[in-house]
A and B are shown apart, each in its own frame.
Chain A
Amino acid sequence: MARIRLHRLTKSFGTVQAVKGVDLEIEDGELLALLGPSGCGKTTILLMLAGIYRPTSGDIFFDDQRVNDVPPKGRGVGLVFQSYALYPHMTVYDNIAFPLRLRKVSREEMDRRVREVARIAQIEELLQRKPSQLSGGQQQRVALCRALVKEPDLLLLDEPLSNLDARLRIETRTEIKRLQRQLGITTILVTHDQVEAMTMADRVAVMRAGLIEQLSTPIELYERPANLFVASFIGDPPMNLLPMEYRPDGGKPQLVNSHLSVSLPEAARAGLEQSSSNAVVLGVRPEDIRLVPEPVDGMPAGEVFMLEPLGRDTLVDVRVGQQPIRVLVPGGTEIRPGTRVWLQWDWDRQHLFDARTEARLGVNADAGRPAAAG
C-alpha cells in the first residue's frame, strides 16, 4: 500500500514529448483510472511508475520517497500488461511463482503464496496448464495473480478489459474492483474506454496529448466536464456539441447559429460573459433532451431523420436545419422519421464552453473544478 505522487513528470522520446508535465496525487488504497485516447501518454506514465521508463524530468514519489532511480525490481510494483505477457513456456503455477522464485523465496513459502492468490482469483484448477490452453479471461486472472503474489505496494493495470468480449468485461470489472477493495492495494488503471474508467475507478484523470485535462470522480466528470475535450470524451452516447454565437443584446441572452437559436434565462448571462469572445459551444447530452410535439418558446425545432433502437432506449437523430442533434428517448416511444418535433431541455443540464479556449463557462464564477494542472 502506498501513496503515490507525481511531480511535474515529463517523458520525451527523441523529439517527441509523450508526457508534458503531469502532477498527480494518488491516495493509499485508491483506484485511479488514467483515461484518454491512444497516444495521450497514459501507458507511458504507467511504465514510468513501474520503473521501466525513466522520466525525462520531474519526480515520482512512493510514500514521500523519491523513486526515480529505483529500478523495477526494487519498487514493489505489480504490472498487468494488456497482452498479459504470460511466459508461454511455463505453466500457470510457474508463471505466478516466477517473481517469488527470482527472490529466492523458500519452496514452501512460495507454494503457499501461489496457492493462496490462485484461490482468491479462483483459478486453482488451472495451475498445471500452459497459457496457450487458457481462455482470455483466465489468462488475465493468471496475469493478475502474478502481479499480486509478490504483495506489491502498487498495482498497475494496462487496458485490463480491452481483450475481453463484452459479456466477460462486465463480470471482470466487478471482479477487479472487488479484489482491489479486498486487498486494499493502491491501483492505477490505464484505459481508453470511458465506461471501464467510470465504472471501476474512485477517481479518473482524463488525459490528452501528455497532459491531464481533468481529475475528478466519475460523477463529477459527467456532470461538470471542465472542457470540450472531457465533455466529448465522457458519456455514451456522446454529448451534442453545437458551435453558437452569443448575442447579448435585446432582452434575454441568445445563442444563435445558422441552424438554430436558443433563448437562455437571465441567470445564464454571468457565465456567458466569462467567455473570451462571443463564440461559444453549447453542449447538451442526448439523455437530457426531451422531444415534444408542440412548439416550445425559445427552443429549436427539427425533423426526425433516423432512429437507432438500442432496446432500453432509442437514439433519435433529429435534424435542425442541417444540424444533427441526437436525443435519447425511452425504448417504447412511438416516433417516426419525418415527424416534426421540438427539443426541450433544462438549461441547468446544458454545458457552455468558450469556443476558443475550450474551457467550461461556469454558471457561477469558479463553480466548476478547474481543468487540471499540467
Chain B
Amino acid sequence: MARTVQAEPSRPQPAAGRYNAQAVRREERLVTAAVYTFLVLVSLPLAVGYGWLLLNSFSTELAHGVWPSGFTTRHWRFLFEPPSPYYPDLWRTTWNTLWLAVGMTITMVAVSTPTAYVLSRMKFRGRNAFLALTLVLHAFPGITLLIATYYVLRWLGLLNSIPGVFLVKAALMLPLGIWVMKGFYDGISWDVEMSALVDGASRIQTWYKVMLPQVLPGIASISIFSFIYGWSEYIYVITFIQDKNAWTLSSYINAIVGDFRFLDYGLLSATALFYIAPVLLFFIFTQKYLMRVTIGGTKGGS
C-alpha cells in the first residue's frame, strides 16, 4: 500500500494559560463535595430510621420524635413476659422463625444443587424445556399463586404449619437458586469431571465426590440468601398460619403493631430490634458472598 506523504508544516502553537493546576483542582474538589453531600443526604433517612429503632427501644420517650429523653430497659420486658395474655410464648415463636429459615435453606440447597448439576452437565430430552419453564414461571410471582397455593396446602394438610410455608417459598425461589448454582457449575472445567468418569465413577459419584466440593461457594451464597429471606418472611406466614403455636416473629410483631402501635413505640421498637438484629448482623458479615451472587448471575433481588 503506497502512501504519499503530504508536506504540511504545522508546528503546534504553545497552549495558552498552560499547566494551570488551580482551576482544574478546584473543579475536582467541587465535584467531590457535591458527590459526598448527595450521598450523605440521600442516605440520611435510612441511617436515621435504623438508629431510631435502637434508640427507641431503650428510651422512655423521644421528644420531637427524635431526641431521647431517658434511658430505660422496660421495653425489653417482653423477653420475659408476653405483652398481653393472648400472645404465644416469645421463645417458641423465635424457635419457629428459626425453623422456617433453616427449613427454607435446607430445601433450597437440597433441591437446587443437584438439579443445577443435571441442567448444567447432562444432556437429556426436555433440558431446554425445563430451563425455559423456570424462566417462564418467574412471570407467575407469589401473588398470583397465593390463592391456588392455599388450596394445595389445604389439600396436603400443610396449612397452619411451618413446613408448608417453607416448602412453598423454596419452590418459588427455586428458579433463582437453580440459575445461580448452574452458573457455578458452568464455571468448572470439563476435564475434572471427565477424569472422574474415566476413573470409573458413576454419574452420581462424580457429582457427589468431585463437583460438589467445587461449588461450595455457590452453596454458601444460596444458603445465605435463603436464610435471610426465610427469617424475614411475612406474607405467607400471615396468610397461611393462624395457629398461634406456629406463629413466627413476623406474625408476633404484626400483632404488636395492631395492638400497640399508637401506645407504645418503645415496645414496638424493642421487639422489632429483637427480630431483625440476628439477620442484619448475619447479612453484614456475609455481604461479600451476596455481592458475588448478584454480580455473577445478573439475577437476585425482587
Contacts and interface: CB of A to CB of B under 8 A. Distances in A.
Q: Check whether chain A touches chain B (CB < 8 angstroms).
A: yes
Given A119-B6, A182-B9, A70 B15 contact: no
A71 B28 contact: yes
Is the interface on chain A under 10, 10 to 19, 20 to 34, or 35 or more residues? 20 to 34
A300 interface: no
Given A62-B19, A69-B21, A71-B21, A175 B3 contact: yes
A298 to B, nearest CB: 52
Given A119-B6, A122-B3, A182-B9, A153 B24 contact: no
B184 to A, nearest CB: 30
Interface in B22-45: 23-25, 28
A74 B11 contact: no
Interface in A115-174: 116, 119-120, 122, 151-153, 171
B15 A151 contact: yes
Contacts of A97: none
Contacts of B25: 69, 71
A70 B3 contact: no
A262 interface: no
Interface in A27-62: 62
B20 A74 contact: yes
A204 B1 CA distance: 30
Is the interface on chain B under 10, 10 to 19, 20 to 34, or 35 or more residues? 20 to 34
A183 B11 contact: yes
A70 B19 contact: yes
Contacts of B11: 1, 183-184
Nearest to B17: A74
Contacts of A185: 12
Interface string A169-201: 001000100100011110000000000000000
A65 interface: yes
Contacts of B21: 67, 69-71, 74
B19 A67 contact: yes
B12 A183 contact: yes
A74 B24 CA distance: 7
Contacts of A178: 5
A333 B91 CA distance: 96
B14 A153 contact: yes
Contacts of B13: 151
A153 B17 CA distance: 13
A151 B12 contact: yes
B8 A182 contact: yes
Contacts of B288: none
Interface in A83-141: 116, 119-120, 122
Contacts of B12: 1, 151-153, 183-185
B27 to A, nearest CB: 9
A87 B6 CA distance: 28
A370 interface: no
A358 B3 CA distance: 45
A73 interface: yes
User: Which of B1, B9, B11, B19 counts the most A-chain CB atoms under 10 A from its CB?
Assistant: B19
A1 B13 CA distance: 8
A67 B19 CA distance: 7
Interface string B257-274: 000000000000000000
User: Which of B15, B20, B21, B24 counts the most A-chain CB atoms under 10 A from its CB?
Assistant: B21
Nearest to A117: B10
Nearest to B11: A184
Given A120-B8, A182-B8, A74 B14 contact: no
B28 to A, nearest CB: 7
A74 B25 CA distance: 10
A75 interface: yes
Nearest to A68: B21
Given A71-B28, A122-B3, A183 B19 contact: no
A76 interface: yes
Contacts of A62: 18-19
Contacts of A183: 10-12
User: Which of A67, A74, A122, A182 counts the most B-chain CB atoms under 10 A from its CB?
Assistant: A74
A76 B18 contact: yes
Interface string A1-16: 1000000000000000
Contact of A71 (B1, B3, B10, B24): B24
A62 B20 CA distance: 12
Contacts of A67: 19, 21
Interface in B196-210: none
Given A1-B11, A71-B28, A120-B8, A153 B3 contact: no
Contacts of B23: 74
B8 A70 contact: no
Contacts of A122: 3
A70 B12 CA distance: 21
5 contacts: A70-B20, A153-B12, A171-B3, A183-B11, A185-B12
Given A69-B25, A175-B3, 12 more contacts: A1-B12, A70-B19, A74-B20, A74-B23, A76-B18, A119-B6, A152-B12, A171-B1, A182-B8, A183-B10, A184-B11, A184-B12
Interface of B: 1, 3, 5-6, 8-15, 18-21, 23-25, 28
Closest 4 CB pairs of A and B: A151-B12, A70-B21, A69-B21, A76-B15
